[in-house]
Chains A and B, each alone.
Chain A
Amino acid sequence: MGQEKVLLVFEVTLIVLKVIVLSLLLFLLPLPMTWIERKIAGHIQGRLGPFRVGPHGLLQPFADLIKLHLKEDIVPDLADKPLFKLAPIFSLVPALAVFVVIPFGEEITIPFLDRPVTMYISDMNIGLLYLLSVASLGIYGTILGGWSSNSKYALLGGLRSAAQMISYEVAISFAVIGVVMLNNSLSLVEIVRSQGEGIWNWNIAYLPVGPIWFAIFFIAALAEINRIPFDLSEDEGTLAAGYHTEYSGVRFAFFMLAEYVAMFTMSILNVILFFGGWNPPFSLPFQLPPVFWFFGKVALFVYLFMWIRFTLPRYRYDQLMTIGWKILIPIALINLMLTGLLRI
């Protein structure tokens, strides 16, 4: 009797611990990410980036953090106040909730307790479905933030991002369907497992449909997380700051946090769906930990997102819609048929 109870308590504590550790890590994620992004921006533009606070500007994110927390939290007089206050939470919670299903690796053993621990909180058999549906809830934060703040810039930003995210949600879902067809599973762990043993089993190498799915997924992911070249909802050239124009202080920090977490999520998804997750690309004579491969690939994608940000200009709104509806979705449909034929 006692044995089972102890086990149950252990399992529950383990999950709570995982959740706490993961959320702490995610809350701290923007600190290195902003620093890296500003450094990359600087070097691509022939500058140095932050250099004043700490060695090589390493303490700059902390200075920014302190600044954001000391700023006055302004709520516009004519804003819809309850919604205005809720919007940052609405955009942050789905961004964090997505990580329930995201695996970072296979089981590992705790050194002293000698018990296996999985590197994910839950391995749902409908993981991808959960992920897509929860991630798309994040739009509510953007839309509510834009519409409730009683500002023309925020309103336009909110409208644009509503249209944009809904259009690209279709393309991204098609790309995910393609991956599901290739791997016969909706569980993220299963998808990674079936891509094991070398680079030729990764979904990106499933010719000819793999690269096309990847291109669709990647472009739609760029649009989903509002990054350049599709960052029309916060188009600073025409809309001041887009949907979060009226936000300041900690609420603005929440939006930024959600944005960086979303970028991290999309990098992880790219790696899991197309680049074999934590599987090494080729068998090495020595063993590298799977976490190394996983985060190495994720880091490459994060760099790619930032690299693209400082390479491409922003698309016009009608071009954005054209790419979404007239190019990505038809290609996705044709590719879906092709994938089906290949998988018979």
Chain B
Amino acid sequence: MNEKTFITNIFDFVKKILFFDFLKGLRVTFGYNVSKSITERYPDQEKWIPYDRFRGVHTLNRDEQGRELCVACELCSKICPTDCITVIPMEDDTGRGIADRVPKVWDVDLARCLFCGYCEDACPTTAVRLGREYEYASFDLSSAVLNKDQLLVPQPIPESFKGGVHAKSRLIKTKEGIEVKADLSQTAKRKV
């Protein structure tokens, strides 16, 4: 026992003289130096496409004939724990919706929404869905309230698209501002 500690002491001393721990540390950092970086060049080079279970900004859907699925039953606004959905129904028999009852107003306040998905569950016609849009940062609170017309615009990433991947993206400068488009054809899973 005693002899063993003596030998280990000598061994440790030799290690110290030869800068063993220092070289070990250098090896670790060199390994990182030559390995691939994990930086995601968001948003103009790469973009994260979330999984389809992701709960982002709401969408209002239409059926195949282009009719609004929402029947303005107000179940979503009733179940909403934060009371952020406002639905005002109206009568309309011109074929705008699948029933004669359609929403006049369907507003969601994203500043208050906690993205629990209860509205999705409550909806009898699968009209409201939580999409995969997650870029809704804004400078003022008023633009956090989305109305029906904005929600009815189909979101860029189709619901059938499998998520959890990185897509190449590119920056498009328009007169209205800067838009970032994800290129879904070039997606890849990355090791982190």
Within 8 A of A (CB), among B27-51: 28-30, 32-35, 37-39, 41
**CB-defined contacts of A47 to chain B, threshold 8 Å:** 37-39
Within 8 Å of chain A (Cβ to Cβ): is B22?
Answer: yes
* Nearest CB in chain A: distance from B134 CB, A: 23
- CB neighbours of B22 from chain A (8 A): 312
Closest approach, in angstroms, between the C-beta of B16 and any C-beta of chain A? Answer: 10
What chain A residues lie within 8 Å of B26 (beta carbons)?
A: 307-308, 311
Nearest opposing residue in chain A for B34, CB measure: A43
Q: Is the CB of A312 within 8 A of B25?
A: yes
User: In chain A between 32 and 74, which residues have their CB closer than 8 angstroms to a CB of chain B?
Assistant: 40, 42-48, 51
Is the CB of A140 closer than 8 A to any CB of chain B?
Answer: no
- One of B25, B35, B38 near A311 (C-beta < 8 A): B25
A42 to B33, CA, bound (A): 8
* In contact, A45 and B30 (Cβ under 8 angstroms): no
With a cutoff of 8 Å between Cβ atoms, the chain B residues found around residue A51 in the complex are 41
Docked pose: A146 CA to B78 CA in angstroms: 67
The interface centre, meaning the residue of A43, A47, A308 with most chain B CB atoms within 10 A of its CB, is A43
Query: Given A307-B26, A308-B26, are A40 and B33 also a contact pair (CB < 8 Å)?
Result: yes
Q: In whole angstroms, how far apart are the Cα atoms of A44 and B35 in the complex?
A: 9
Asked whether A44 lies within 8 Å of B33 as measured between CB atoms, the reply is yes
Interface centre among A42, A44, A45 (most CB of B within 10 A): A44
Chain B contacts for A45, CB-based, 8 A:
32
Provide the residues of chain B in CB contact with A44, threshold 8 Å. Answer: 29, 32-33
A45 to B41, CA, bound (A): 16
What residues on A are CB-neighbors of B39 within 8 Å?
46-48
Q: Taking CB as reference atom, which chain A residue is nearest B32?
A: A44
* Distance between A159 CB and nearest chain B CB, rounded to angstroms: 28
Q: Which of A43, A215, A308, A312 contacts B33 (CB 8 A)?
A: A43
Known A-B contacts A308-B26, A311-B26, A312-B25; the reply to A43 vs B41 at CB < 8 A is no
Min CB distance, A166 to chain B, in Å? 25
Nearest-Cβ distance from residue B136 to partner chain A, whole angstroms = 25
Residue A310 is within 8 A (CB to CB) of chain B in the complex: yes
- Cα-based distance from A45 to B38 in the complex (angstroms): 9
B40 to A: closest C-beta gap in Å: 10
Instruction: List the B side residues contacting A42 at CB < 8 Å.
Output: 37
Q: How far is the CA of A47 from the CA of B35 in the complex (A)?
A: 10
Interface string of B44-66 (1 = CB under 8 A from A): 00000000000000000000000
Identify the closest chain B residue to A45 (Cβ). Answer: B32
* Interface residue from A48, A215, A311 paired with B29 (Cβ < 8 Å): A311
User: In the docked arrangement, what's the CA distance between A43 and B37, Å?
Assistant: 6
CA distance A177 to B29 in the complex (A): 34
Cα–Cα distance between A40 and B32 once the two chains are bound (Å): 10
Complex Cα–Cα for A50 and B19 (A)? 32
CA distance A47 to B32 in the complex (A): 10
Partner of B30, one of A46, A48, A215, A307: A307
Nearest opposing residue in chain B for A331, CB measure: B17
Q: Check A307–B33 contact: CB distance below 8 A.
A: yes
When the two chains form their complex, are residues A46 and B37 in contact, meaning their CB atoms are under 8 A apart? Answer: yes
Which residue on chain A has the smallest CB distance to residue B26?
A311
- Asked if residues A43 and B25 are in contact (CB atoms below 8 Å), the reply is no
By a CB distance below 8 angstroms, the chain A residues around B33 are 40, 43-44, 307
- Which of B28, B34, B41 makes the CB contact (< 8 A) with A48? B41
B183 to chain A, nearest CB (A): 19
Please indicate the chain B residues that have their CB under 8 angstroms from the CB of A312 in the complex: 22, 25
Q: How far is the CA of A337 from the CA of B164 in the complex (A)?
A: 66
Contacts of B19 in A (CB 8 A): 215
Q: A184-218: which have CB < 8 Å to B?
A: 215
Q: Closest approach, in angstroms, between the C-beta of A32 and any C-beta of chain B?
A: 18
Are the CB atoms of B37 and A307 closer together than 8 Å?
A: no
Interface set, chain A 267-310, CB cutoff 8 A to B: 307-308, 310
Q: When the two chains form their complex, are residues A310 and B38 in contact, meaning their CB atoms are under 8 A apart? A: no
Q: How far is the CB of B93 from chain A (nearest CB, A)?
A: 56
Contact B41 A310 (CB under 8 A): no
Complex Cα–Cα for A46 and B34 (A):
9
Compute how far the CA of A40 lies from the CA of B28 in the bound complex, rounded to whole angstroms: 14
**Separation of A51 and B39 alpha carbons in the complex (Å):** 11
Give the complex CA separation of A44 and B32 in angstroms: 5
A15 CB to closest chain B CB (Å) equals 41
| Distance between B18 CB and nearest chain A CB, rounded to angstroms | 10
Assembly CA distance A52 to B139 (angstroms): 25
A232 → chain B closest CB, angstroms = 19
Chain A residues whose CB sits within 8 angstroms of the CB of B30 once the complex forms: 307
Besides A40-B33, A307-B30, 6 more A-B contacts (Cβ < 8 Å) are A43-B33, A307-B26, A307-B29, A307-B33, A311-B26, A312-B22
Which 4 residue pairs of A and B lie closest in terms of their CB atoms, listed nearest first? Answer: A311-B29, A48-B39, A44-B33, A43-B33
- Between A and B, 8 residue pairs with Cβ closer than 8 Å are A43-B33, A43-B34, A46-B35, A46-B38, A47-B38, A307-B29, A310-B29, A311-B28
